Amino acid sequence: MYYLTKKEDVAMDFKTYRNQPADELSDYMYKVAREDNMETVYERFAKQQPQCAFGAMGVCCTLCTDGPCQITRKAKRGVCGASADLIVARNLLLKCAQGTAANVYHARNVARTLKAVGEGKADYSIKEEGKLKGIASRFGINGNRTLEEVASEFGAFFIDQINSNDYEALKLVRVLAPKKRLAIWEKLGIVPGGPNSEVATALSKAMTNVNNDVVDLLLHCLRLGIANEYAGLFGITTMQEILAGIASPNQGEVNIGILDPEAVNVLMHGHQPLLAIKVLEAARDKKWQERARKAGAKNGLKIYGSLCEGQQIFNIASEYKDVFFGQIGNWIQQELVLATGAVDVLAFDYNCVMPTISEEFAPKYHTKLISTDKTIRQANVERLEFESDNAKEIAEKILERAVEAFGKRGKVNIPSVKHSAMAGFTTESVVSALGGSVQPLIDAIASGSIKGVAAVVGCTTVREFQSGRHIVGLTKELIKRDILVIGAGCCSSTMQNANLMSPDAVSEAGRNLASVCSSLGVPPCLSYGSCTDIGKIIQTAVALADALGVDVPDLPVVASAPEYMEQKAVADAFTAVAFGLTLHLSPAPPVLGSPTVTKILTQDVESLTGGKVFVELDPVKTADAIEEHICKKRKALGLKVDGVLAKK
Amino acid sequence: MRYVIIGSSAAGAQAAEELCALDKDSKIVVVSQEGYPPYSRCLISRYADGRLLESDLYFKTKDFFKKCGVEENLHTTAAKIDRAAKKLICENAKEIEYDKLLIATGARPRFPKIDGLDLSGVTCFHSLDDAYRVAESVAFVKEAVVVGAGFVGLEAAYALTRLGIKVTVVERCSQILPNQLDIIASKIIQRDLEELGVEVILNESLISINGTESVYDVTTADKAHIKCEFVVIATGITPNKELAEQAGLDTDRGILVDEFLMTSDANIFAAGDCIEIQDVSTGKRTLSATWFNAVLQAKFASHNMAGGRRRYTGAVGIQNAVQFHQIPAISFGKTLIEDESSDGYEVISIHSGNVYKKLVLKEDKICGMIFVGDIAKSGFYAALIRQEVDVSKYRDKLLDQDFSYAYFKDENFGQMDPYKTIPACWGSPVWWLQRAQCMGIGS
Amino acid sequence: MKRLMVKLERCSGCKRCELACMEEHSAQKNYCLATLGAPEPKTRIFVESINDRPMPVVCRHCNEPLCVSACMAGCMQKDPVTGIVNNMGHEQQCVGCWMCIMACPYGVINPSFDVAQTGKNAFAQALKCDFCPERETPACVVACPNDVLEAEEIKE
């Protein structure tokens, strides 16, 4: 009824996969780790099986001590009286609130740094003056002020916005949102106030016996989604670009094979790239290269990126080619990277660091761990908490620890294959690659050379048979059908590892898409960077809609999170739905226990925002559905549709 | 119908029970050399050290034969089979006529050719009488030597150690349990025993047992003397096939039977330790002295004696479960491969601490396993070996934590199927998304 | 004769049956107390998985139970009236020889202690489904929230 797999496709698919990495280099490292008797994410997943379906379907409630309650064949209500619909909606709202809070936390950190820069208290400077002045002026911060004053005032303004009340509509939304969207949101009453108080309100609504209205709870998720975009994702990208520079296309190396056994290797891991920039700058100092050589590392000291932090450095890496040596990998790979024995320092900030890294892998493989965010507390980790005015000092310390750790290395085992990829795409760089306006892209879409655009974004998961297989499978199917793919987050890393983000990948693309990409010298899958750069993708979609004079839902654009895993992704999903995007999710989110919530998310919400969610576990069928949706939108726009669902 | 059964241990007793149930009007006669109700030979060490009482050894009830209406002839040794007259002649000259005869004579201990076996204080460890002997001698014994580190030897060593005796085990091979375990598994078990205080000397054999009337010490091939007052000989067993041999039945190392457990005489069947079986795990004919096999064979033999035609298939020679001290171990099928690459055998194993699991594979099938420490689900693997199930689909998963019978739910191993109502879509992606309805929590 | 039947498609993998089984077979008859006390409570029904699909593996109380043939102590017996296969409450005692564990094709018999986890030899005994003799309906059946498990009357 509400899923795309048809009833007749009941082919029992018990071809047993062994849950292990899809990517060849990761698989090599996986075997090394297993030989060393290390338990990885795959073993932990296997040991968790089978997992309770009540939780997986969202009908397990652990909020109060009358619980845990589950909605079952026998029990249609929890002890407090909550129905399946209510429990599912409450659980979903809680996850969405947590994700929003995390993104907003990140944005607040960046805003603080921007403010400190303006006040002259930070080790950073304004790299993108135009961008800062442009955005500040939209909020009335301009005039005769100096650049520093604008920075500090805009930083302060942003922090104020984050902390503002939920009974006043957020200025960021009022000013920045496209008019058509804003009108719809106002009609639905979901223009959010300050994200922090929105999150607090959400938590209050999800209390035992407070709100029984499923629709209201889900609308609140959409409010959070909008706040998540403007006070979170958009803020993060914009301010990070102001401080670190706008992404520009550049070629680099990726995957575990790029680690250098003859160098002191520093891995920057996490989500907030500002410190990493200082580390890169410090590593340029001859002193460190000398010290690394003296310690026995013939090739000096090298910095690598990992996870989303790496993607963000990769985006601006054209400036740092002398010290930045590439992007290592995605969430699943983090343990496997350490198993090389060649990572001397792993410096990380918040989100996506497995506890096993500090408790098992780092001690075993000599890696020195340094945490730089105040939210982190882990065993065996040195805490060097980042403040905007101590970045240089911390950077020096990180390098110092790396040189020290190099001497303690044991066995080193690095697969010898290297992959390369291109990164650094964003609204601005895409426009400049197109020669200054989005018109060529619109023309390409209008002519059918590019059938449509799919944003394949988000995490990686080991659920089902995925661990990257779904991302790669779906991406290959899409580009084969002339659908341009935009990647972000761990999806980008996965595509890079699969060689889909290098210009050579046009050989995998359909004829029309391949010719467009070859003429521009870009790959058929464009990396927008980290999972927080999903906001930029939405801005690109908005720019495209503006240029065409239509609303976002009218575009032949689809978003997909083929291996979504954690709470930030839930918040991002509601952002996409609020903006009117059709969103593919896999694995199934924990809502299937409530037919009402499932129906709202997969059908009813389309009549409200224009967006909706669909769940599909098979990559090829997902591509079919995405292509069908794109063709439908093309038809509505009066564009040429040839060979609907025709495969290459 | 007159059924005569020679032997009253695992096979003999089981056959008597089965025949009673199968053919109520028949006359069943059991002839047994020993003077006890059926007792469990495997448990005598537990009696010797006091863990069990004598009555606990009777695996059927004490008055089992009487209850079944079986005529029992204890302390009676079968001397000769007159096949032409269908008569069993006993040593006490008693003659018993039969229509169907079951030979379940078992096996007897094998002794090495060394001096001093006749001294007092030297014993084998095979029967309840031996266990009495051990239990009686204990009070006077401080040190003992066990010759042979097979199951019987180690059971004896463990029992003696529990009685406070300092035990030295002398084994000719380079490991303990050489027929059942590989070197890694044997080391784990050996450490477990040594922790208790058992001393194990490997690569060593005995050349003589010394003493005047009773044992004083033993001499090893190394010319070392080990002082002891008690010696247990546990150097293996040999099948009691002579009765069959003299009657002109086909024999080799043991009595030869077809897949219906019938000997070369259609009226004579054989079961238990005295026969040779066709081992599915190795594809070779082999002797097998295990309780489990004896009982199964007796079941099949008695069915066929009563006129049935049940094939005895899926026999496996090595199938042992053991726990001496703290660590349990199971060995099943072909576990020993001289060279891992030879004959297309392949080995997969995991080993950490006291947990060791090893599977031997050949041509998509498992043919042997050793589980030490963690023996859960071992019966499932044993069934795969016994039934020669193709596991090629799951080759990489075989020793995974989550590998279980679930992967073979369509294979019922001949038993009632509790899953018969599964809809065809179970497990498919469709079912995965429809689970709410399946679970009954949809609207 | 009653046997456990499984409606597999309904199973959510919540393992309430495992908890109920542990509880029923503990001295304390309460899962939380049993976890704190000794011996460690152990389940006799197993929610295994195929890939990540749950599947309860249950004792079938076989018509021709291999565990009974394998038992060298004679304590594993099939009740001629109820058909329940059980190693408790008979004249003979379980000695922990583990032959039944090796014999059971479904892997539903387990030792009463776990070397890998405790390293201690508690009272060694093979544990298997006894169909909850103190209850009319087995604890797992009562506990199952989705009626996956059913004690069904069958003919042997």
| Domains contained in chain B, CATH given | 2-107+238-305 (3.50.50.60), 122-235 (3.50.50.60), 319-408 (3.30.390.30)
pLDDT of residue B437: 81
A344 falls within a domain: yes
Mean pLDDT of chain A: 91
pLDDT of residue A124: 92
Closest-CA residue of chain A to C143: A74
To test the contact with chain B by mutation, choose from A9, A10, A30, A87 the residue with the greatest count of B C-beta atoms within 10 A, namely: A10
Are A311 and A358 members of one domain? yes
Query: Of A349, A375, A406, which closes a domain?
Result: A406
Q: Tell whether C62 lies on the interface with B, counting CB pairs under 8 A.
A: yes
Nearest to C47 among A50, A57, A75 (CB): A50
Task: Say yes or no for a CB contact (<8 Å) between B441 and A71.
Answer: yes
Task: Say yes or no for a CB contact (<8 Å) between A74 and C145.
Answer: yes
State if pTM tops 0.95. Answer: no
Are A343 and A434 members of one domain? no
CATH no. for residue A93? 1.20.1270.30
By percentage, how much of chain B surpasses pLDDT 70?
98
Cβ contacts below 8 Å, chain A against chain B, sum to 74
- Which one of 3.10.20.30, 1.20.1300.10, 3.20.20.150, 3.30.70.20 gives the CATH number of domain C62-128? 3.30.70.20
Nearest to A54 among C12, C48, C55 (CB): C12
Phi, psi values for residue A264, rounded to 5°: -75, 120
Are A490 and A511 members of one domain? yes
Distance CA B286, CA A554 (A): 77
Task: Say yes or no for a CB contact (<8 Å) between B393 and A16.
Answer: yes
Chains near B (3 or more Cβ pairs under 8 Å): A, C
Are A525 and A504 members of one domain? yes
DSSP codes, chain C: -EEEEE-GGG-----HHHHHHHHHTSSSS-HHHHHHSSSPP--SSEEEEETTEEEEE-----SS-HHHHH-SSS--EE-TTT--EESSSSSS------HHHHH-TT---EESS-HHHH----S--EE-----TTSSS-HHHHH-TT--EEEEE---
DSSP, res A66? T
Phi, psi values for residue A99, rounded to 5°: -65, -45
Q: Tell whether C137 lies on the interface with B, counting CB pairs under 8 A.
A: no
Report pLDDT digits (tens) over B355-411: 899 999 988 899 999 999 989 999 999 999 999 999 988 888 898 878 899 999 888
Query: Of A244, A260, A290, which closes a domain?
Result: A244
Which residue out of B20, B42, B274, B367 is catalytically annotated?
B42
Task: Say yes or no for a CB contact (<8 Å) between B43 and C103.
Answer: no
**Annotation says B42 is catalytic:** yes
pLDDT of residue A13: 38
pLDDT band at C123 (very low <50, low <70, confident <90, very high): low
Question: What are the Cα distances from residue B60, in Å, to B145, B274, C94?
Answer: 33, 21, 13
Please list the ranges in chain B whose pLDDT falls under 70.
Answer: 339-342, 442-443
Q: How far is B387 from chain C (nearest CA, A)?
A: 10
Nearest to B397 among A7, A16, A596 (CB): A16
Delimit the CATH 3.30.70.20 region(s) of chain C.
Answer: 1-58+129-150, 62-128
To test the contact with chain C by mutation, choose from B8, B20, B40, B396 the residue with the greatest count of C C-beta atoms within 10 A, namely: B40
Q: In b/e form, how buried is each residue of A71-107, taking b as 16+ CB within 10 angstroms?
A: bbbeeeebeeebbbbbbbbbbbbbbbbbbbbbbbbbb
Q: Tell whether B118 lies on the interface with A, counting CB pairs under 8 A.
A: no
Closest-CA residue of chain C to B329: C98
Based on C-alpha coordinates, what's the Rg of chain B? 24
Q: How far is C15 from chain A (nearest CA, A)?
A: 7
Instruction: Look up the domain containing A130 and give its range.
Output: 84-244
Chains near A (3 or more Cβ pairs under 8 Å): B, C
Task: Say yes or no for a CB contact (<8 Å) between B439 and A53.
Answer: yes
CA atoms within a 13 Å half-sphere pointing along the CA-CB vector of B139: 3
Sequence-ordered alpha helix ranges (H) in A521-563: 534-548
Mean pLDDT of chain B: 90
Closest-CA residue of chain C to B327: C115
Chain A residues within 8 A of B407 when measuring between CB atoms? 16
Chain B residues within 8 A of A595 when measuring between CB atoms? 436, 442-443
Are A444 and A589 members of one domain? yes
pLDDT of residue A10: 33
A7 falls within a domain: no
Nearest to C53 among A50, A73, A463 (CB): A50
Are A445 and A393 members of one domain? no
Take residue B237 and report the two structure tokens written for it: 């067993």
Distance CA A641, CA A631 (A): 6
Nearest to C49 among B42, B386, B406 (CB): B406
The residues on A that touch C, with CB distances below 8 Å, are 14, 16-17, 49-54, 57, 70, 72-75, 463-465
pLDDT of residue B430: 77
Chain B residues within 8 A of C106 when measuring between CB atoms? 379-380, 383, 405, 413
Are A288 and A195 members of one domain? no
Q: Domain C1-58+129-150 adopts which CATH fold? A: Alpha-Beta Plaits (3.30.70)
CATH no. for residue A484? 3.40.50.2030
Task: Say yes or no for a CB contact (<8 Å) between A53 and C51.
Answer: no
Closest-CA residue of chain B to A84: B441
Are A128 and A238 members of one domain? yes
Q: How far is B340 from chain C (nearest CA, A)?
A: 25
pLDDT band at C118 (very low <50, low <70, confident <90, very high): very low
Q: How far is C133 from chain B (nearest CA, A)?
A: 20
| Consecutive 10-residue averages of pLDDT for chain A (648 residues) | 33 47 89 89 86 88 92 90 96 97 96 95 92 93 87 96 94 94 96 96 96 96 97 95 94 95 95 94 94 94 95 94 94 95 94 93 95 92 91 95 94 92 90 84 90 95 80 95 95 94 94 92 93 91 90 95 94 96 92 92 95 91 95 91 49
What is the helix (H) or strand (E) element at residue B218, kind and residue range? strand B215-220
Q: Tell whether C64 lies on the interface with B, counting CB pairs under 8 A.
A: yes
pLDDT of residue A646: 41
Closest-CA residue of chain B to A15: B393
Report the domain count for chain A.
4
To test the contact with chain A by mutation, choose from B405, B432, B434 the residue with the greatest count of A C-beta atoms within 10 A, namely: B432
Task: Say yes or no for a CB contact (<8 Å) between A463 and C50.
Answer: no
B:337-366 residues touching chain A, CB 8 A cutoff: 352
pLDDT band at C95 (very low <50, low <70, confident <90, very high): confident
Task: Say yes or no for a CB contact (<8 Å) between A49 and C52.
Answer: yes
To test the contact with chain A by mutation, choose from C51, C53, C141 the residue with the greatest count of A C-beta atoms within 10 A, namely: C51
A421 falls within a domain: no
Q: How far is A84 from chain C (nearest CA, A)?
A: 14
Are A400 and A440 members of one domain? no
A414 falls within a domain: no
Closest-CA residue of chain A to C14: A52
Task: Say yes or no for a CB contact (<8 Å) between A73 and C10.
Answer: yes
pLDDT of residue C96: 87
Chain B residues within 8 A of C10 when measuring between CB atoms? 438-440
pLDDT of residue A465: 62
Are A267 and A313 members of one domain? yes
Take residue A405 and report the two structure tokens written for it: 């750790």
Q: Tell whether C146 lies on the interface with B, counting CB pairs under 8 A.
A: yes
Are A171 and A211 members of one domain? yes
pLDDT of residue A120: 92
B209-215, Cβ contacts within 8 angstroms, sequence gap of 24 or more? B209/B114, B209/B115, B209/B116, B209/B117, B209/B119, B209/B122, B210/B115, B210/B116, B211/B116, B211/B119, B211/B121, B213/B119, B213/B120, B214/B119, B214/B120, B214/B121, B215/B116, B215/B119, B215/B120, B215/B121, B215/B122
Distance CA C124, CA A139 (A): 76
pLDDT of residue B340: 54
pLDDT of residue A87: 96
Chain C residues within 8 A of B295 when measuring between CB atoms? 69-70
Nearest to B409 among C7, C55, C124 (CB): C55
Are A254 and A240 members of one domain? no
Report pLDDT digits (tens) over B256-297: 999 999 999 999 999 999 999 999 988 889 998 899 999 999
Task: Say yes or no for a CB contact (<8 Å) between C146 and A72.
Answer: yes
Nearest to A72 among B396, B431, B441 (CB): B441
Residue C71 pLDDT exceeds 70:
yes
Based on C-alpha coordinates, what's the Rg of chain A? 24
